[in-house]
């Protein structure tokens, strides 16, 4: 890890412990060259994943890119960042445990849409409108009708369960 102050590649780890989110490792480092101290957060990556884009182009999976797209969908929504982090960790875990080194971008999009659907309806609609390339207002109506139907079915199931008690 290069020193952010002088650029020296020979930094030393002084302390290492799990980060608060427990999905990364927090390391305190010091540069013997300039004496600078800094912190890094490192994640364990089980395998190098390649994303196959719609165009056929391949690029390395970028967790930060996924987080940025979710931040856009969740902008100004009252969602706890820890819930978003858990959702992203779940998506990454599913991708890594699939056994495939190459994953189609459509698979990633579907996993994200499933996660957002249970996280926040507004963010789900925002993400889906870009991911599914909505062209007309009818596309939004169809998605919102689908959400409304699911909500009605969940309410009916909850009422049935309450009646059984």
Tens digit of each residue's pLDDT (9 = 90 or more) over 31-54: 999 999 999 888 765 568 999 999
**Helices and strands of the chain, counted as H and E runs:** 5, 6
What pLDDT does residue 38 have?
Answer: 93
What pLDDT does residue 62 have?
Answer: 92
DSSP designation for 92: H
The answer to whether 37 and 28 are in contact (CB under 8 A) is yes
Model confidence at 151, pLDDT cuts 50, 70, 90, reads confident
The per-residue DSSP string of 42-63 comes to E---SS--EEE-TTS-EEE--H
What pLDDT does residue 158 have?
Answer: 67
More reliable by pLDDT, 161 or 30: 30
Reported as a single tens digit per residue, the pLDDT across 58-78 is 999 999 999 999 999 999 999
Reported as a single tens digit per residue, the pLDDT across 64-121 is 999 999 999 999 999 999 899 899 989 988 998 888 889 999 999 999 999 999 899 9
The answer to whether 131 and 109 are in contact (CB under 8 A) is yes
C-alpha 18/C-alpha 15 separation (Å) is 10
C-alpha 32/C-alpha 28 separation (Å) is 13
Statement: residue 156 has pLDDT above 80 = no
């Amino acid at each position: 890890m290069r020193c952010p102050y002088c650029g020296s590649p020979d930094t030393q780890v002084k302390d290492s412990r799990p980060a608060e989110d427990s999905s990364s490792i927090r390391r305190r480092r010091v540069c013997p060259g300039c004496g600078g101290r800094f912190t890094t957060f490192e994640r364990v990556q089980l395998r190098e994943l390649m994303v196959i884009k719609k165009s056929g182009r391949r690029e390395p999976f970028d967790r930060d890119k996924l987080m940025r797209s979710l931040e856009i969908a969740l902008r100004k929504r009252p969602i706890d960042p820890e819930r978003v982090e858990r959702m992203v960790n779940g998506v990454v875990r599913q991708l890594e445990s699939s056994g495939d080194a190459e994953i189609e971008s459509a698979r990633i999009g579907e996993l994200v849409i499933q996660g957002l659907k249970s996280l926040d309806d507004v963010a789900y609609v925002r993400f889906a409108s870009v991911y599914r390339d909505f062209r007309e207002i009818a596309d939004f109506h169809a998605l919102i009708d689908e959400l409304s139907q699911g909500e009605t079915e969940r309410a009916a199931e909850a009422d049935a369960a309450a009646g059984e008690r």
